[in-house]
Structure 1
Amino acid sequence: MSSLPRSTPDDQGLSAAAIDSFVAALDASEQEFQTVMLVRHGHVVLEAEWSPYRRSDLHLLYSVSKSFTSTAIGLAVDAGLLTIDDKVVSFFGPEELPETISDNLAAMSVLHLLTMSTGHSEDTVQRMSRDDRMVQKFLGLKVEHEPGAPFVYNSGATYMLSAILQRLTGETLLEYLRSRLFAPLGITDATWGSSQEGITFGGWGLSLSTESMAKFGQLLLQRGGWEGEQLVPAEWFEAATTKQVSNNEPNPDWQQGYGFQFWRGRHNTYRADGAFGQFILAFPDHDAVLIITSAASTMQAELDLIWEHLLPALEGKELPAVARPERLEIPAPTGPAPQGGDGKTYTFAENQGYLQSVRWDADGSALLTFGPDSHLFTVGAWRESDAGSERVVTSAYGDGDALVATIRWLEGPHAAEFRCRIEDGRMTVDGRLNVSFAPLEFTVTSE
């Protein structure tokens, strides 16, 4: 099956007006939604995209990746390649293990990696340089507590699951899932980044389209069954989506417990989630799965919208009807044309906006370079760039003596604004990112 079947909300027991009201609530919220898809009884009953985003585009999923890594481990367990009680050190040789193996490291098992209860006091990925041998780095870190200790979110642990799978199979995590999971689901668009040592990141870096995410969500609801075949053992998904460990996360939908690289949520839901609001959210009580890609400043606020505006519809409750907007879009910033620049190319030291150079021409247009890609910025509607390997849109306007250039990288949640000014032969750029792990604002002056 290349795509999920389509249906109307009414034919799948939902109010079409309620679904429209849900979309209207998303559109009106302070959180930025990019695509959404709702599957009910195995049928797509809602699919929407906020232009210039497209459901068919690949989208960087951040930690949604972890749930796919868990699935691969479940397949490997079912194939008899390992058990969750196997010790982590048993998979690696002396060239990667520290000279002295502490009792806590020796006790760490695959289960502890899956449940992020490794005994580390912080996320190990912060100390695993991606230019290093990351496996060796992880194994060499101090394990402060006995494994099984309180949950500590740990992307490095997921990377180690990927490394273990590669050791056992001779395939990368992506290669392993292509034939066993992606191909049977009709997913052909998956890409996944890897480290310098050739290991799929596991905990991050997976990109999929919205519908490919929905297929995985439907597989979860069906407990691994797909078109008459059991692709993933039902027992694995049952365990993976059940609370395995408690945590002290501050937000209510993160306090419900953690499974095997899946989060539990309120209202008997479970989910794969990734930074800045990427969600595969399953409602087993209502045979539904919701997919969201977004650039959210507050992920809890996104879930609160779902509980307020979608959950009642799934429960058959009536809410005031709100018309769905005729057009869903994230409009380009507007303003007057910029004044003319001097046509010189200004270069910048490394910065968190990845901006390398700016050329502001006499006609008011600008050319900004990010790594190997240069993109043209002109006044008006979004301009889709034809440079680089990723879909990008740009727009610009003038604000006094400043050129304000905005860019959206459409295969992920990220966008940035660059406010450029020329003075005394140098350019200063005030940058602002929509979402980031680093501070959202920065200033850089040309070299």
Structure 2
Amino acid sequence: MNFSNLLKELEPANLVSCLISQRGQITFEQYREPHLAETIAKINSCTKSILSALYCIAMDQGLLPAPETPASVFFPQFAKDRASHKSEITLLHLLTMTSGLDWTEFGGQNSFPRMTRTPNWVDFVLEQPLSDLPGTKMSYNSGGSQLLSAILAQATGMSVARYAELTLFEPLGIESYSWEQDPQGIHTGGFGLSLRPIDMLKFGQLYLQQGKWGNTQLISQELVALSTRSAVRAEAPRRGSYGWHWWTDTYPDRTDNDASLQSLNYFNAYGFGGQCIYILPSIETVVVLTNDQRKKSKIPLQVFRQCVAPYLLELVEGSITK
């Protein structure tokens, strides 16, 4: 695969890093500065996909019940709220952002910033009213991710970070990380984890390999497939669909008239500001992009589909014509 022009294509984005692996081998690795290769940095909402992996592992180990289990098993407050349908909220609803809790993340009532300014984040989320019936609509909600983190800590009897070390980080050889906590010491479920770009690539590779690392099945193939499958259409203006704290999409956009043309299906983790892990099973490829832009910009969202994906699609089309 010839990536000779990719560096030029990536210049406007001024990325911290871009890593591409194909069939388990790194074929492209670029950093703005050499030291950034070994620097841990916030991956923002990519944390959610790490949490999803930990949920799958805990389910495989029998520490967590089935995803259809009511969240009220862990938060009796939901069951006591007889004036609403909160008792119907399940673990699956929290994982797919379809809990129905009234939440705007940013803008409007600013639920996310308000949560981080309260003395008890979990209580804040539990107290939010419903705006929709559980399971009927996606509404991006980092508060729900914090509930999931609290549930995982309850179920495993240890901190989320410690559970991650034992079941995920140590097997993958991830030694450098940091993870923020809420005022109660619960590790942040929707953001706050910092990793090196190469360790983000390892995590993506684990999913490309259907949960297997070396000779060990860290996550069952069944739960890898289930958690990265489209479960609900993403809320506008976001594109694609959503699984268990994973995004799913296809490049390029197709219509019925050109459905016969080649396309790439992928699932990905995305963090604010351009922290991304893309997994493309059909071409055995993982892409990691990281950035440190503080201002809101659409460039990070465009990098994969405008710069990287065309090269990957070229690989597919080239192999077919040979």
Calculate the TM-score normalised by the size of structure 2: 0.86
CA–CA distance in structure 2, aligned partners of residues 195 and 130 of structure 1: 10
**1:147-198 Cα shifts (integer Å, max 9, x gaps):** 0021100011111100001111221111111010110011111211000111
User: Tell me, what secondary structure is at the counterpart of 1:219?
Assistant: helix
- Counterpart of 2:42, as a letter, is L
CA–CA distance in structure 1, aligned partners of residues 273 and 265 of structure 2: 23
**1:74-94 Cα shifts (integer Å, max 9, x gaps):** 111112222211111211356
User: Tell me, what secondary structure is at the counterpart of 2:15?
Assistant: strand
Match of 2:253 in 1: none
CA–CA distance in structure 2, aligned partners of residues 130 and 247 of structure 1: 28
Report how far residue 213 of structure 1 moved. Answer: 0.4
Distance 1:308 1:247, change over 3 A: closer
Report how far residue 316 of structure 1 moved. Answer: 5.3
Match of 1:65 in 2: 47
Report how far residue 228 of structure 1 moved. Answer: 1.1
Give 1:119-158 correspondences, 5 Å limit: 119-122=100-103, 123=105, 124-158=111-145
Instruction: Name the one with the larger strand percent.
Output: 1
Residue 145 of structure 2 corresponds to residue 190 of structure 1: no
CA–CA distance in structure 2, aligned partners of residues 167 and 241 of structure 1: 24
CA–CA distance in structure 1, aligned partners of residues 174 and 309 of structure 2: 32
Report how far residue 293 of structure 1 moved. Answer: 0.5
Match of 1:294 in 2: 291
User: Tell me, what secondary structure is at the counterpart of 1:55?
Assistant: helix
Report how far residue 130 of structure 1 moved. Answer: 4.3
Does the Cα contact within 8 Å between 1:125 and 1:155 map onto a contact in 2? yes
Aligned length: 295
Match of 2:59 in 1: 77
Aligned partner (choices 59, 69, 74) of residue 91 of structure 1: 74
Match of 1:40 in 2: 22
CA–CA distance in structure 1, aligned partners of residues 14 and 128 of structure 2: 38
Match of 1:314 in 2: 315
Give 1:106-125 correspondences, 5 Å limit: 106-122=87-103, 123=105, 124-125=111-112
Does the Cα contact within 8 Å between 2:89 and 2:134 map onto a contact in 1? yes
User: Tell me, what secondary structure is at the counterpart of 1:292?
Assistant: strand
Match of 1:206 in 2: 193
- Counterpart of 1:263, as a letter, is W
Does the Cα contact within 8 Å between 2:269 and 2:276 map onto a contact in 1? yes
CA–CA distance in structure 2, aligned partners of residues 100 and 242 of structure 1: 32
Does the Cα contact within 8 Å between 2:231 and 2:242 map onto a contact in 1? yes
Distance 1:48 1:167, change over 3 A: same
Match of 2:241 in 1: 257
Does the Cα contact within 8 Å between 1:36 and 1:292 map onto a contact in 2? yes
CA–CA distance in structure 1, aligned partners of residues 212 and 34 of structure 2: 35
CA–CA distance in structure 2, aligned partners of residues 235 and 277 of structure 1: 29
User: Tell me, what secondary structure is at the counterpart of 1:312?
Assistant: helix
Report how far residue 127 of structure 1 moved. Answer: 3.8
Residue 276 of structure 2 corresponds to residue 279 of structure 1: yes
Give 1:339-354 correspondences, 5 Å limit: none
Report 1 or 2 for greater relative contact order, CA contacts < 8 Å, sequence distance ≥ 6.
2
CA–CA distance in structure 2, aligned partners of residues 259 and 93 of structure 1: 26
CA–CA distance in structure 1, aligned partners of residues 268 and 305 of structure 2: 14
Does the Cα contact within 8 Å between 2:79 and 2:87 map onto a contact in 1? no
Report how far residue 256 of structure 1 moved. Answer: 1.8
User: Tell me, what secondary structure is at the counterpart of 2:36?
Assistant: coil
Report how far residue 67 of structure 1 moved. Answer: 0.1
Instruction: Tell me which structure has the larger Cα radius of gyration.
Output: 1
Gaps of 5+ in 1: 1-13, 319-447
Distance 1:198 1:101, change over 3 A: farther
Gaps of 5+ in 2: 106-110, 251-263
- Counterpart of 1:276, as a letter, is G
Match of 1:239 in 2: 226
- Counterpart of 1:305, as a letter, is Q
Q: Spell out structure 1 runs of 4+ moving beyond 4 A.
A: none
Report how far residue 99 of structure 1 moved. Answer: 6.1
- Counterpart of 1:281, as a letter, is Y
**1:300-346 Cα shifts (integer Å, max 9, x gaps):** 3212323564223432549xxxxxxxxxxxxxxxxxxxxxxxxxxxx
CA–CA distance in structure 2, aligned partners of residues 304 and 37 of structure 1: 15
Aligned partner (choices 205, 209, 214) of residue 222 of structure 1: 209
Give 1:417-428 correspondences, 5 Å limit: none
Distance 1:313 1:277, change over 3 A: same
Match of 1:49 in 2: 31
Does the Cα contact within 8 Å between 1:35 and 1:48 map onto a contact in 2? yes
Distance 1:101 1:128, change over 3 A: farther
CA–CA distance in structure 2, aligned partners of residues 120 and 150 of structure 1: 10
Identical residues among aligned pairs (%): 29
- Counterpart of 2:29, as a letter, is E
- Counterpart of 1:270, as a letter, is F
- Counterpart of 2:9, as a letter, is A
Instruction: Name the one with the larger helix percent.
Output: 2
Report how far residue 231 of structure 1 moved. Answer: 0.4
CA–CA distance in structure 2, aligned partners of residues 229 and 265 of structure 1: 29
Match of 1:381 in 2: none
User: Tell me, what secondary structure is at the counterpart of 2:28?
Assistant: strand
